[in-house]
A and B are shown apart, each in its own frame.
Chain A
């Protein structure tokens, strides 16, 4: 690539007689460098050499004939450019600052977008990979899940010749690894045999073939292997996993890259998991994730049509609400949202949004440059006039102004590179990415330089046309004025800048208030001072749990404790087929959720029973009964659902209470029907309510109690409110980014305004002098001067309101529970934008208004 470019450049300027042999020589060096340093470095060196070969004695005749004149002209242009920059250093500084910040900001956004787009793309056969998705059709709508029925693992590939391979894997699970009496709690997955042939990881020890086929083998990531075995070879060694006995290490693979959506530190054979979860082997249930590799010439859309009824055909009655389909794995991350079973964007919306933001930020900086250049063109008019008289062509003048803009852009680009390197690390930690930038990274520095050059050309085109267009006679006679047209265009551009900035202010405000709303909304349960512990090791035993409960509650720092199968942060869901009552007709319109827990769940989470009662610990019959939420009551559609006989998952009982609806999962979703059942055996989590004092001491106490029971398990806990915030990680990242980048956009447009206001003040200095002499006071003058700019800002605001409104309304659509966009937000946005406009403009207005009229009118 670079080599071709270099060759072309070289051929452009080199004398044809010399081209062949010199290029031949360079080819030889290239071949040699290829073997010594690799193709990329060799190509780069070839390119640099082709530039450095630019010598007078090697030039084409045509070029060398003109070379003296051109050299002198370019030299002159550069000299003039630097003189102008220096003479107007204030403006140049503003321009450079604006362009630097603009270029740096859009490059950073560009890097962010790139890293979003790179997710999952590291698989070699990415174009053939698909994730198997599940569509559930209810009367009330269609929902899409990643979970699939278990039998798919064995049957799908045999039934479908289009499949090259298909592998199942599970959601991540935290398991205990024991080696030399040291325990490690690690997160990994169970996966079926073909998994490692589809998912690209490099093996360091062991081999991919036959991996995951032996039931007692475990595969470890490099970092986990180093944790457990240190620098020793791990292949063939044994490690105890989760109390299931000794597993042999079958292989060690390179860590799964961070830009993978499927992450794991270890892999265990799928059979181990399915034997523990036999329910998954039913075609009606779903719990495994699937990844498939289609043969090269298969069109996945046609294939999707073919498999639409696949699950139904496996059911005894030939009917199922479930149907599976494939989503291209390369799209899985960016196109992650489904609405009514149809693909409905997802992260790609944000990617596009940031693309637009980065473009607009650049545009704002470019507009600044254009406005300042044309506004101040009167100062250059004489130079243009004289040059034209002496015989300069219009093209040459355009070239000159283009060069000036390019030089500024180049300086800004270099500074932008420095700026990027300074802020990229803090930015990474804010948004949780691993972006990098360095001038030595050829791809990235070339794209940055390209960006800079593009900006330079874009910014230079309009001024170079305007400036080179001056009529010689009028300029030299001194009757030159800026045209009305160009000053109107300037105003238009300022309005445009303000519209963009205000749009960004509005978006920032709305995103922020939505996030505040989510974080502080009444969820129907209390999320403060709640601590989560996993149910593992000895604690899975029911009688040990009683002891544990008693010893924890003996400490006054803990007020209550509950064992449950899910938490409001992540809840179990099922079809409603297992739940029935007298007179039930059909199934639920939507998803149906379940909490299996003990008597303390409602109290620990501070939920409210609005009718009936909680489970009574003294009533053994309550294990048959259930508590439902308001939604379930609504769906059951009975006059009084209390005490209605029901049947739930094999137990006949009654509804004893109705709990007020509480939010679970994320507020993107509506609250669905839910049933709470007293079956603590299936608990996975312990929730502890803390009094809120002496938290460090309480944690220490807890650690002692837990590690007494489970000495091998590392003590791990989390807080409910932290987990809640994690649900909205992607939204808060977006919030942070819009915050910063709208700040940047506003900053750059204010810079431009600052420059323009200083120009305006300069132009009207005599008018102001006269007004002052005639008795105007400073206050009037400031208002007079700022009025025009405020009008422009106001116009910009008016343009921004409908755009910002419709755009953000769209964004809010994805939340089931959201704020109303009301007038206050727009008032605040208007206030902010007008306030900063006044602040920016008033400096020069004030300076002009307070200046001594004698000084300004002396020569009249």
Chain B
């Protein structure tokens, strides 16, 4: 289904936004992904993924409060939308379906 198309990185971002519920903005999302996946995430890649998914309707955002370290600039908190949840579900289901349909034989690695 074209409607739920989600890239690998986008999926991670979406999931992370879910994990961080209520505290998901640029800095925390990036830290979380870097911590969990142990890989470098560039600010550009993360931000463009976030905006892309907002355009698709998987995420919604609102401006929040600011802190001293931000030079008076507000944070933008992201939340998963219903559509986003459906996309995640869809992805999971398709994957599980495929997983289940692998015949047992294909996964037997006994040394014969």
Residues of A within 8 A of B (CB): 18, 20-29, 31-32, 49, 52-58
Nearest Cβ distance between residue B93 and chain A, in whole angstroms?
A: 28
- Could you give, for residues 34-54 of chain B, a 1 whenever the CB lies within 8 Å of some chain A CB and a 0 otherwise? 000000001111011001100
Query: In the bound complex, how far is the Cα of B56 from the Cα of A57, in angstroms?
Result: 12
Is B73 a contact partner of A52 (Cβ separation < 8 A)?
no
Is B27 a contact partner of A20 (Cβ separation < 8 A)?
no
Closest A residue, CB atoms, query B67: A28
Q: A26-B43, A49-B43, A52-B42 are in contact. Are A20 and B73 (CB under 8 A)?
A: yes
Closest A residue, CB atoms, query B63: A21
Option from A24, A49, A55, A58 in Cβ contact (under 8 Å) with B75? A24
Give me 13 other A-B pairs in contact (C-beta within 8 A), A52-B42, A58-B48 excluded: A20-B76, A21-B25, A22-B47, A23-B71, A23-B73, A24-B66, A24-B75, A25-B75, A28-B69, A32-B69, A49-B44, A53-B44, A58-B51
Is A21 a contact partner of B44 (Cβ separation < 8 A)?
no
Q: A52-B44, A57-B48, A58-B48 are in contact. Are A24 and B55 (CB under 8 A)?
A: no
Task: List 6 interface pairs A-B (beta carbons < 8 Å), by A numbering.
Answer: A18-B47, A21-B75, A25-B27, A25-B70, A49-B42, A52-B44
Is B70 a contact partner of A24 (Cβ separation < 8 A)?
yes
Is B43 a contact partner of A52 (Cβ separation < 8 A)?
yes
Task: Kindly list chain A residues whose C-beta atoms are within 8 Å of the C-beta of B95.
Answer: none
| B21 contacts partner chain A, Cβ-Cβ < 8 Å | no
Q: A21-B74, A55-B47 are in contact. Are A31 and B25 (CB under 8 A)?
A: no
Option from B27, B48, B66, B73 in Cβ contact (under 8 Å) with A55? B48
Is A27 a contact partner of B69 (Cβ separation < 8 A)?
yes
Residues of B within 8 A of A (CB): 25-27, 42-45, 47-48, 51-52, 55, 63, 66-67, 69-71, 73-76
Option from B43, B52, B55 in Cβ contact (under 8 Å) with A25? B43
Nearest Cβ distance between residue A52 and chain B, in whole angstroms?
A: 5
Closest B residue, CB atoms, query A18: B51
Task: Kindly list chain B residues whose C-beta atoms are within 8 Å of the C-beta of A28.
Answer: 27, 67, 69-70
Is B51 a contact partner of A57 (Cβ separation < 8 A)?
yes
Task: Kindly list chain A residues whose C-beta atoms are within 8 Å of the C-beta of B26.
Answer: 21-22, 24-25
Task: Kindly list chain A residues whose C-beta atoms are within 8 Å of the C-beta of B43.
Answer: 22, 25-26, 29, 49, 52-53
Is A20 a contact partner of B63 (Cβ separation < 8 A)?
yes
Query: In the bound complex, how far is the Cα of B69 from the Cα of A32, in angstroms?
Result: 9
Closest B residue, CB atoms, query A52: B44
Is A53 a contact partner of B75 (Cβ separation < 8 A)?
no
Task: Kindly list chain B residues whose C-beta atoms are within 8 Å of the C-beta of A22.
Answer: 26, 43, 47
Nearest Cβ distance between residue B33 and chain A, in whole angstroms?
A: 14
Q: A29-B27, A58-B51 are in contact. Are A24 and B74 (CB under 8 A)?
A: yes
Nearest Cβ distance between residue B27 and chain A, in whole angstroms?
A: 5
Task: Kindly list chain B residues whose C-beta atoms are within 8 Å of the C-beta of A29.
Answer: 27, 43
Task: Kindly list chain B residues whose C-beta atoms are within 8 Å of the C-beta of A23.
Answer: 71, 73
Is A25 a contact partner of B44 (Cβ separation < 8 A)?
no
Query: In the bound complex, how far is the Cα of B45 from the Cα of A53, in angstroms?
Result: 8
Q: Which of A22, A25, A53, A55 has the most B CB atoms < 10 Å from its CB?
A: A25
Is B47 a contact partner of A58 (Cβ separation < 8 A)?
yes
Q: A52-B43, A53-B43, A57-B55 are in contact. Are A24 and B48 (CB under 8 A)?
A: no
Is A24 a contact partner of B47 (Cβ separation < 8 A)?
no
Nearest Cβ distance between residue B10 and chain A, in whole angstroms?
A: 12
Is B71 a contact partner of A27 (Cβ separation < 8 A)?
yes
Task: Kindly list chain A residues whose C-beta atoms are within 8 Å of the C-beta of B67.
Answer: 28
Query: In the bound complex, how far is the Cα of B25 from the Cα of A224, in angstroms?
Result: 58
Is B70 a contact partner of A27 (Cβ separation < 8 A)?
yes
Option from B42, B45, B76 in Cβ contact (under 8 Å) with A21? B76
